[in-house]
Amino acid sequence: MYDQNNIFAKILRSEIPCKKIAEDQYFLSFHDIAPKAAVHALVIPTGHYKNVHDFTTRASTDELVGFWKGVNTTIDALNVAQNGYRLIANTGTDGRQDVPHFHIHILGGQDLGPKIVMS
Ligand code: AMP
């Protein structure tokens, strides 16, 4: 069951603000409010999906393609493609997902080391 009151649903409804990077009908990207790296952005689908598995199971082909194009658009806007970056999709309880609306973290702008602990 998708929680309509999660914080990213509220951002999509413009009930709370975000530092927007890019958007279209399929995705919205914005800067993380508590960055864990020099560059830390989030990309979310505009549709209501609680995690990556839910998204990949239920989204249409247009939504799937539109979302991943949005990830690339955001990577280009952040200017991290040349030096590299890390994508993370925390999922469910064991994955320590805090916000139950599917999102991809884009981390970069520095050497990220062997791993990042998402506290
Ligand atoms: P996760 O543990 O993968 O669900 O991560 C959720 C992320 O959302 C965390 O990195 C938070 O810092 C970030 N976050 C929470 N609220 C906001 C907000 N209002 N604007 C931007 N990022 C947020």
Q: How high is the pLDDT of residue 118?
A: 58
**What CATH number has the domain bearing residue 17?**
3.30.428.10
**Domain-located, residue 113:** no
pLDDT reading at 116 higher than 80: no
Q: How high is the pLDDT of residue 115?
A: 77
pLDDT reading at 87 higher than 90: yes
How far apart are the CA of 79 and the centre of ligand 1, in A? 21
Number of domains in the chain: 1
**Domain-located, residue 115:** no
Residue among 5, 6, 7 whose CB has most ligand 1 atoms within 8 A, to mutate? 7
**Domain-located, residue 60:** yes
pLDDT tens for 24-55 read 999 999 999 999 999 999 999 999 999 999 99
Looking at the whole model, is its pTM more than 0.85?
Answer: yes
List the domain range (segments joined by +) for residue 91. Answer: 7-108
The whole-angstrom separation of Cα 116 and Cα 109 is: 14
**Domain-located, residue 28:** yes
